[in-house]
């Protein structure tokens, strides 16, 4: 089955620790995205990548880092510099064209203790 796989589904972290969220897609999509979801704030774009070895900051990139070494993989690192990291993180992929059709994973919920 084609789709997007995010892991882990739940993650707990102590303050000051970096954590990496995994996102893998087998849809052969060009573009991949990371969104952060907080109640009442919709989905806010963290980073996106149109092609391998290239990525751009979204609206709230501070405290996050990404890499795109393979077309199917786009991991997100939440660093200790992110002041309020507790959130629901969503990875998505799409063809890079004006269709707006993003395919989302099931999300990773990060809680900082």
Partner 1 sequence: QQQVKQSPQSLIVQKGGISIINCAYENTAFDYFPWYQQFPGKGPALLIAIRPDVSEKKEGRFTISFNKSAKQFSLHIMDSQPGDSATYFCAASGETSGSRLTFGEGTQLTVNP
Give contact residues for partner 1 (rule: CB under 8 A): 4, 31, 33, 35, 40-45, 48, 50, 90, 92, 94-102, 104-107
Our CB check for partner 1 shows the closer of 85 and 105 to be: 105
Our CB check for partner 1 shows the closer of 79 and 103 to be: 103
Our CB check for partner 1 shows the closer of 84 and 98 to be: 98
Minimal distance, residue 81 CB to partner 1, in Å: 24
Here the tokens at position 100 are 């707006």
DSSP the chain: ---EEEE-SEEEE-TT--EEEEEEE-S--SEEEEEEE-TTS-EEEEEEESSTT--EE-SS-TTEEE--SBTTB--EEE-TT-S---EEEEEEEE-SSTT---EE---EEEEE-
Minimal distance, residue 101 CB to partner 1, in Å: 5
Our CB check for partner 1 shows the closer of 13 and 44 to be: 44
């Amino acid at each position: 089955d084609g789709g997007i796989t995010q892991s882990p589904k739940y993650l707990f972290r102590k303050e000051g620790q970096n954590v990496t969220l995994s996102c893998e897609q087998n849809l052969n999509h060009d573009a991949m995205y990371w969104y952060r979801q907080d109640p009442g704030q919709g989905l806010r774009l963290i980073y996106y990548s149109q092609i391998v070895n290239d990525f751009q900051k979204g609206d709230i990139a501070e405290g996050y880092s990404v890499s795109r070494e393979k077309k199917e993989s786009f991991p997100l690192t939440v660093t200790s510099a992110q002041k309020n990291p507790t959130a629901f993180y969503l990875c998505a992929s799409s063809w890079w064209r004006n269709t707006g059709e993003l395919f989302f994973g099931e999300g990773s919920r990060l809680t900082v203790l």
